[in-house]
């Protein structure tokens, strides 16, 4: 019998698949993936995502574990998008408007004053417009789950004055997310927009680097932005949603049945989250008033006219092209 050496032991172990399987610590998942996002743990996105990943763990018999990293724990949106592309995180939710820094057509749902209500939003995003954008995302090595998650209709807040009409936006030092469409739209309205990730927005407002920002009420509440703002003007100036993105290589490494389970459960959570956010955005006005924000309503028409006069719609129509613009108009009707 040959002497037992380290070498023969290792070779023997490698030949025994059972040994390899057993070498996983007891209870550890075969795939341990990360989902990173920019919203506080209390936002419905994280609450529903936590439920979704628990269902994935259960339905895969413990093989697929997805850990949720909320609240920019892994960095800003800009950082997390790089991490997603390199595979350092496997999943990440990002606004289509910010994703447009990589996939330009993905900002199309943010065209100012395009959507009238949620009925139009879901018809477009669960229909042809969403399908078009997901196709564009797929061309860049990323995968988007079918159901987009709700961020919401966006409202403007400031520490200086209410926004009642387009003139009130002129000269306003406004935080916008890092995204060409946002910068273009608020430049067209005469503001001085500064691109700042959400992770830095509270302190930028607190230290008066900027005087205002714009977000759905559910974000204004969960990020506590209301603590450093005085006015909230209900402009509903665009609808914004989060694509649930996967690094394609990481996703395709999962066995087929696990891929299907992940997609099914994440898409289910998206629908749950949509219901929560719509409800919250409808209820929060009362709560935030109680916290000291002064609310006012606005009419869309003068803002739309101001954007039209500045050439905003014709510029972006040109950038997206007739085909994509036509798909948007199929749901929302004629744009200016
Ligand atoms: O950065 C923002 O304002 C936020 C949280 O709404 C997005 O992710 C686009």
Which atom of ligand 1 sits closest to the CA of residue 197? Answer: 1
At residue 27, the pLDDT reads 73
Inter-CA distances, 118 with 147, 271, 281, Å: 14, 13, 12
Mutation probe of ligand 1 site: the residue of 36, 38, 217 with most atoms within 8 A of C-beta: 38
Mutation probe of ligand 1 site: the residue of 198, 201, 281 with most atoms within 8 A of C-beta: 198
CATH 3.30.1360.120 fits 10-151+241-281, yes or no: no
Give the strand pairing for 231-234 and 173-176. Answer: unpaired
Q: Evaluate whether 10-151+241-281 and 153-238+290-331 have a shared fold.
A: yes
For Cα atoms 131, 235, 239, give the angle at the middle one, nearest 5 degrees: 10
pLDDT score of 23 more than 80: no
Confidence of residue 18 (pLDDT cuts 50, 70, 90): very low
Mutation probe of ligand 1 site: the residue of 71, 72, 156, 177 with most atoms within 8 A of C-beta: 177
pLDDT score of 13 more than 80: no
pLDDT score of 69 more than 70: yes
Q: What value does the mean pLDDT take over residues 252-271?
A: 98
Q: What is the pLDDT of residues 168-203, one digit of tens each?
A: 999 999 999 999 999 999 999 999 999 999 999 999
pLDDT score of 288 more than 90: yes
At residue 307, the pLDDT reads 98
Which atom of ligand 1 sits closest to the CA of residue 214? Answer: 3
**Whether the CB of 219 sits within 6 Å of ligand 1:** yes
Confidence of residue 1 (pLDDT cuts 50, 70, 90): very low
**Whether the CB of 95 sits within 6 Å of ligand 1:** yes
pLDDT score of 2 more than 90: no
DSSP H helical ranges for the chain: 6-15, 17-22, 44-59, 77-86, 96-99, 118-125, 128-138, 180-188, 201-206, 217-222, 248-253, 256-290, 300-309, 312-332
Q: What value does the mean pLDDT take over residues 246-252?
A: 98
CA of 313 to the centre of ligand 1 (A): 22
Compute the CA torsion angle 106, 229, 71, 130 (nearest 10 deg): -20
At residue 8, the pLDDT reads 41
Q: Are 261 and 60 in contact (CB under 8 A)?
A: yes
**Which residue's CA is the nearest one to ligand 1's atom 7?**
95
Confidence of residue 287 (pLDDT cuts 50, 70, 90): very high
Confidence of residue 120 (pLDDT cuts 50, 70, 90): very high
130 Cβ contact partners less than 8 Å away, ≥ 6 residues apart: 124, 146, 148
Region for residue 152 given its phi and psi (left: phi exceeds 0; alpha: psi -120 to 50; beta: otherwise): left
Q: Which pTM was predicted? A: 0.92
Find tokens 């994703």 and name the residue.
99
Q: Are 245 and 93 in contact (CB under 8 A)?
A: yes
pLDDT score of 66 more than 80: yes
Which atom of ligand 1 sits closest to the CA of residue 177? Answer: 1
At residue 281, the pLDDT reads 84
Which atom of ligand 1 sits closest to the CA of residue 198? Answer: 1
At residue 14, the pLDDT reads 42
CB count in 10 Å sphere of residue 57: 17
**Whether the CB of 72 sits within 6 Å of ligand 1:** no
Which atom of ligand 1 sits closest to the CA of residue 94? Answer: 8
Q: Are 194 and 217 in contact (CB under 8 A)?
A: no
pLDDT score of 6 more than 80: no
Which atom of ligand 1 sits closest to the CA of residue 97? Answer: 9
User: Residue ranges per domain, the chain?
Assistant: 10-151+241-281, 153-238+290-331
At residue 25, the pLDDT reads 67
At residue 230, the pLDDT reads 98
Q: Are 70 and 64 in contact (CB under 8 A)?
A: no
For Cα atoms 248, 249, 255, give the angle at the middle one, nearest 5 degrees: 100
Q: What is the pLDDT of residues 203-242, one digit of tens each?
A: 999 999 999 999 999 999 999 999 999 999 999 999 999 9
Q: What is the pLDDT of residues 136-179, one digit of tens each?
A: 999 999 999 999 999 999 999 999 999 999 999 999 999 999 99
Topology annotation, domain 153-238+290-331: D-Maltodextrin-Binding Protein; domain 2 (3.40.190)
At residue 76, the pLDDT reads 97
CA of 193 to the centre of ligand 1 (A): 15
pLDDT score of 11 more than 50: no
pLDDT score of 19 more than 60: no
């Amino acid at each position: 019998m040959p002497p037992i050496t380290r070498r023969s032991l290792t070779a023997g172990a490698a030949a025994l698949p059972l040994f390899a399987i057993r070498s996983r610590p007891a209870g550890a998942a075969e795939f341990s993936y990360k989902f990173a996002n920019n919203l506080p743990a209390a936002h419905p996105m994280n609450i529903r995502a936590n439920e979704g990943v628990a269902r994935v763990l259960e339905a895969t018999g413990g093989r697929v574990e997805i850990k949720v990293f909320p609240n920019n724990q892994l960095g800003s949106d800009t950082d997390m998008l790089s991490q997603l592309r390199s595979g350092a995180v496997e999943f990440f939710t990002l606004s289509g408007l910010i994703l447009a820094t990589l996939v330009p057509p993905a900002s199309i749902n943010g065209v100012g004053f395009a959507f009238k209500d949620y009925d139009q939003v879901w018809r477009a995003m669960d229909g042809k417009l969403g399908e078009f954008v997901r196709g564009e995302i797929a061309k860049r090595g990323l995968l988007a789950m079918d159901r987009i998650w709700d961020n919401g209709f966006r409202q403007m807040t400031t520490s200086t004055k209410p926004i009642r009409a387009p003139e009130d936006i002129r000269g306003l030092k406004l935080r916008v997310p890092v995204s060409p469409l946002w910068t273009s739209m608020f430049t067209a309205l005469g503001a001085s927009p500064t691109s700042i990730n959400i992770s830095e927005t509270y302190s930028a407002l607190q230290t008066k680097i900027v005087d205002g920002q714009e977000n759905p009420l559910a974000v204004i509440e969960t990020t506590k932005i209301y603590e450093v703002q005085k006015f909230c003007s209900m402009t509903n100036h665009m609808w914004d949603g989060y694509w649930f993105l996967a690094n394609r290589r990481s996703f395709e490494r999962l066995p087929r049945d696990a891929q299907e389970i992940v997609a099914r459960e994440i898409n289910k959570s998206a629908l749950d989250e949509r219901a929560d956010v719509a409800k919250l955005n409808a209820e929060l006005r009362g709560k935030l008033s109680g916290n000291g924000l002064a609310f006012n309503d606005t009419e869309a028409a003068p803002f739309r006219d101001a954007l039209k006069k500045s050439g905003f719609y014709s510029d972006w129509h040109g950038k997206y092209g007739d085909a994509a613009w036509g798909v948007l108009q199929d749901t929302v009707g004629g744009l200016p």
